[in-house]
Structure 1
Amino acid sequence: MESLQVCDYMNHHPVRLLADMPVAEAVECLLNSGQSGGAVIDDRARLIGFLSEQDCIARMVESCYYREQVCRVKDIMQSPALSVKPYMSVIELAQQLVKDMPRVYPVVDDDGVLVGSINRAAVLKAIDKQLRAGYEVAS
């Protein structure tokens, strides 16, 4: 059976957010990208946190109520962020997804630099492809 690695199924163009970015701007980035969360990076593209749609909802409601946008990404991001390496096994990641439950994982190299992201759908696609290939060989 062929080895499934994260790098073969990851999104190579993940959302990149900055810690000092207003949450409203970060939400716009997420909505425009169609991604449910984004990596928060420093000036060297190293992962420093993660911001999900869920993290943003309460602050956006609060902003609507008070008619002000004072919250920054750094105020509500998850840090440290869970991340995976590009050479990690998709099967190992699937087992981690069951346990940790995030929808998206940032993918970082050995220096902590963001190189992509992988979500549940990509993991399912990889496993499905592997299973279908196994069925075809068995037939």
Structure 2
Amino acid sequence: MRWFRRPGPPDVPRRPDPAAMVDDLDRFINRSSGGLPGWAVVEARWITDTLRAVLATPPVEVTTEILVTGTAGDYLPTTLRGYLAVGDDLRDRPRADGRTPDQHLRRQLTDLHTAVTTALAAVRDRDLDAMSTQSSFLRTKFTRSDLDLP
């Protein structure tokens, strides 16, 4: 008589592990390296290295985690898969917009690299801002004030 039993608690979806996603992406890049231009493999690995640097700067905020999981789980793999789907004989042939698939790939990788580098700079700036705030606090707390009586 199962219908009288109460259902168990719903399964809580697990949040993806950003570091594992970056590792999976590296393996995908390595497996796909034979079909990608050498410069694209280097650029893609540069992006994953930058993602690791972002993750290595704790605490990882939600917005940072979203950027890393989005880039590692969707944006970069989609870019690479899109290029790999194009036939070798079409990769250097200009399309309707006048750009070749190679040029599109380069531009997309550059845009992704710019985004993750900007995120890394923001994470590091956050740390510098925290140090600056702490310095101001300590200066205010432990130095004489202009309002102190002589």
Larger helix share, 1 or 2: 2
Larger radius of gyration: 2
Alignment TM-score, normalising by the size of structure 1 = 0.32
Alignment TM-score, normalising by the size of structure 2 = 0.30
